[in-house]
Chain A
Amino acid sequence: MKPLAIIGLVSTGLLALSACGHDAARSGRVQVTVWSGWTGEEAKSFQRLCDRFNAEHPGIHVDNLGGVTDNTKVIRAITAGVPPDAFTIWSAPDVGPLAGYGALCTLDEEFRASGLKESDFVPSALEMCRYRGKLIGVPLLMDTLAFLWNKDAFVEAGLDPEHPPRTLEEMKKLAARLTVRNADGDIERLGMMLPDTTLLTYAFGGGYLDAKTGAVTANRAENVQALTFYADLVRSMGGRGKVAAFGSGFGQGQGPNHPFFVGKVAMMVNGEWIPSWIERYSPSLQYGVAPIPYHRGREDRAGTTTISVNMLGIPREAKHPKEAWQFLAWLQRPDVQTEFAQALNNVPNIRASLSEPDLTSGTERKLNFGKFCRYAMHPNAVGFPNTPIGHLYLTELGAATDFVLFGKKTPQQALDDVQRKVSSEMKRMEKSIRG
């Protein structure tokens, strides 16, 4: 009994001492806890940024906890009253509820006082960090989409490899031509990897939220047109059954088995990381990067692309919001942006960094990456708006697309149902928020 008790006491004492030692090393510095969502190699790159900040700011110590990909963890911490000082809002549909229920600090004052200017930023990136006009976060790098095509596949089908489709209708014709089927009727090469219906909606000039009133506009005429186009595209390539069957057999995204790299799809809309993946996994692939096609007759929608950002926010009950803001503002420095963008192959959200020669010129990969950066600056670059019912909206839109594809509803019916459900939920949510 006695030796066991002694061991117990001693180990408890050692633990207590080590805890004290922990704080002693940081005494005099303000501890800023950050919860970030990057994992693996990307987490290491973010940690390097934190270390760099700590070195340059002797009075602050950023303590980064990586791998927090589950936003509900942060929500629980906020509810329990022990939130981090800053965190990455990894799930974009959570931004609306977090902001709407007042869980995030509004940062307009700090933004003005820090000397940052709106014109420093890629406009669409900053817009994604706003909720009902108020700034409730800052971006840290963004993703943007462009049109990519397999030049060899074009040549095989007798098409000019330097001539990508400019309109969506052209793209649909090419998709049908580029789809290759075998003797059983199964697809061997898909002409076009199915694009996101959200992207198509914007390319048709539609939208999901009324810019002025903030009302839900799920069943706008342009949205219905976009969904109809999507169904037609699938039909022209062989119908939902065959296309879905083929799509489910795609290899893992990041790696040499990406369907675009192995020639299983001839055209696709994808993000700015693709050129570096191609350079790494499939360097002999002949491909091109071009702006996303727009609906014929709507030249004003040329240059449409959907963007998303990595957003950092400060909880309202954070212990050190001022120092947390210092970190967030520091992350907007062009050299910091460039360093992180190079490590992650994401597009910087600071304009000065977009034209950084080191990022966007020198090799074929960097030139293609540079195209993505240019497209992000286009006025028609847009992200899905922040709403308090983000998850429901996206789930309903996904279901609507499925209903249309399986012939259960017409595009108008499907989107009318979405409109009905989402707008009534929105009203209920607003009432609940107002209390």
Chain B
Amino acid sequence: MIGLAFVSPWIIGFLVFTLYPVIASFHYSLTDYAVLRPPRFVGLQNYITLLTRDEYFWRYAVYNTVFMFLGLPLGIGSGLCLAILLNQKLKGMAGFRALLYLPAVVPPVAGAMLWLWVFNPQYGLANSVMDILHLPKLNWLVDPQTAKPAMIFMDLWGVGGGMIITLAALQGVPAHLYEAALLDGAGVLTRFRHVTLPMISPVLFFQLIMGIIGTFQYFTSAMVMTRGGPGMATMFYALYLFNNAFQYFKMGYACAMAWILFAITLSLSLLVIWSGKRWVHYEGGER
């Protein structure tokens, strides 16, 4: 009983602020709910319209998918590279670790405002760097061609978070495995492929799933920096959902979008988990 009493704040919070809204949103997704008027039941109409008659739904879902396929390998890959670099036993590593992790601590909105100025075509750092590298100056967020790449690039700023976790995993690889590999005559790359990667695969697996969920929920930066522009080039799925819910007075429709999003991320995650049986090695566990 005492135990329950101690956990009750969390239970109440979960029921009221998480479970109830989730169930309510599913209920609303089956209705035409204009917010200013009670919801009217329409069955699966919202889902059918979304999947067959909404020209924007597929386009924006593809934006997120492209974001995922480009951003995730870059993000996890660069996190891994940085972690390997930081895994050296040199002086000052703690300082570098802190510096590289710092961007992950910056609040998303503040970061977005900052990057708006970095990407400013006339005065921004991004174009100054392009100048130094003798590359042509770009219009970044103001040009539909470069807006999405710019945002993918900006997202890489936060690799520090994943990097720290990967670093911890790297440092957890048993040293005797490396020694055994060395004795067998394995080179650097072979050691990496056959010792390092399998041993840190659980962490990579975790980052992959979190990354999939994250890229499909991408919202704050798009909302603060471009509001979906220019020419709808950065109208990501979650932003379109927001517009439907709070500007177009189509709350039921937006809830249906949310549940489809859930279905997408769930299936992708299940896919990764199923494939994980092949390549994720748990220490002491069965292959």
A residues adjacent to B (C-beta < 8 A) = 72, 75, 78-79, 93, 97-98, 101-103, 186, 241, 244-246, 248-249, 388-389, 391-392, 395, 398-399, 402-403, 406, 408, 421, 425, 429, 432-433, 435
Closest to B252 in A: A432
Contact B122 A403 (CB under 8 A): no
Q: For residue A103, which residues in chain B have a CB less than 8 angstroms away from its CB?
A: 36
Given A395-B243, A406-B143 in contact, is the A244-B121 Cβ separation under 8 Å?
yes
Contact A389 B123 (CB under 8 A): no
Given A402-B144, A406-B144 in contact, is the A79-B35 Cβ separation under 8 Å?
yes
Closest to B145 in A: A406
Contact A97 B229 (CB under 8 A): no
Interface of B is mostly: loop
A317: shortest Cβ distance to chain B, in Å? Answer: 11
Q: What CA separation (Å) do A147 and B144 show in the bound complex?
A: 31
* B191-231 vs A, Cβ < 8 Å mask (1 yes, 0 no): 00000000000000000000000000000000000001111
B188: shortest Cβ distance to chain A, in Å? Answer: 46
A–B pairs, 20, beta carbons within 8 Å: A72-B246, A93-B247, A98-B36, A101-B249, A186-B122, A244-B121, A244-B139, A248-B120, A395-B228, A395-B243, A395-B247, A398-B229, A399-B231, A402-B144, A402-B230, A402-B232, A403-B231, A406-B144, A408-B231, A433-B34
Q: What CA separation (Å) do A75 and B34 show in the bound complex?
A: 11
Does B142 reach chain A (CB closer than 8 Å)?
yes
Closest to B228 in A: A395
Partner of A432 from the list B34, B121, B137, B143 (CB cut-off 8 Å) is B34
Q: Known contacts A97-B36, A392-B248, A421-B55; can you find 17 more A-B pairs with CB under 8 A?
A: A78-B36, A97-B249, A101-B36, A101-B37, A241-B139, A244-B121, A245-B121, A245-B122, A245-B139, A249-B123, A391-B243, A392-B247, A398-B229, A402-B229, A402-B230, A403-B231, A406-B143
A245: shortest Cβ distance to chain B, in Å? Answer: 4
Given A246-B122, A249-B121 in contact, is the A406-B246 Cβ separation under 8 Å?
no
Q: For residue A421, which residues in chain B have a CB less than 8 angstroms away from its CB?
A: 55
* 8 A Cβ contacts from B142-173 to A: 142-144
Contact A79 B231 (CB under 8 A): no
A82: shortest Cβ distance to chain B, in Å? Answer: 14
Q: What CA separation (Å) do A433 and B40 show in the bound complex?
A: 11
Q: What CA separation (Å) do A72 and B36 show in the bound complex?
A: 11
Contact A406 B248 (CB under 8 A): no
Q: For residue A432, which residues in chain B have a CB less than 8 angstroms away from its CB?
A: 32, 34
B141: shortest Cβ distance to chain A, in Å? Answer: 8
Closest to A400 in B: B231
Given A248-B142, A398-B229 in contact, is the A97-B34 Cβ separation under 8 Å?
yes
Contact A79 B36 (CB under 8 A): yes
Among B230, B231, B243: residue with most chain A CB under 10 A? B231
* 8 A Cβ contacts from B232-254 to A: 232, 243, 246-249
Closest to B246 in A: A72
Given A244-B143, A432-B32 in contact, is the A406-B120 Cβ separation under 8 Å?
no
Q: For residue B123, which residues in chain A have a CB less than 8 angstroms away from its CB?
A: 249
Closest to B230 in A: A402
Q: For residue B230, which residues in chain A have a CB less than 8 angstroms away from its CB?
A: 402, 406
Q: What CA separation (Å) do A406 and B243 show in the bound complex?
A: 24
Q: What CA separation (Å) do A244 and B146 show in the bound complex?
A: 14
A253: shortest Cβ distance to chain B, in Å? Answer: 16
A20: shortest Cβ distance to chain B, in Å? Answer: 30
Contact B36 A249 (CB under 8 A): no
Q: For residue A186, which residues in chain B have a CB less than 8 angstroms away from its CB?
A: 122
Q: For residue B137, which residues in chain A have a CB less than 8 angstroms away from its CB?
A: 245
Closest to A250 in B: B122
A181: shortest Cβ distance to chain B, in Å? Answer: 14
Q: For residue A249, which residues in chain B have a CB less than 8 angstroms away from its CB?
A: 120-123
* B49-92 vs A, Cβ < 8 Å mask (1 yes, 0 no): 00000010000000000000000000000000000000000000
B279: shortest Cβ distance to chain A, in Å? Answer: 42
Can you list the 8 inter-chain pairs with the closest CB atoms, starting with the nearest? A402-B231, A249-B122, A245-B121, A101-B36, A391-B247, A244-B142, A103-B36, A402-B230
Q: What CA separation (Å) do A297 and B1 show in the bound complex?
A: 85
Q: What CA separation (Å) do A382 and B203 show in the bound complex?
A: 60
Q: What CA separation (Å) do A391 and B248 show in the bound complex?
A: 6
Q: For residue A102, which residues in chain B have a CB less than 8 angstroms away from its CB?
A: 36-37
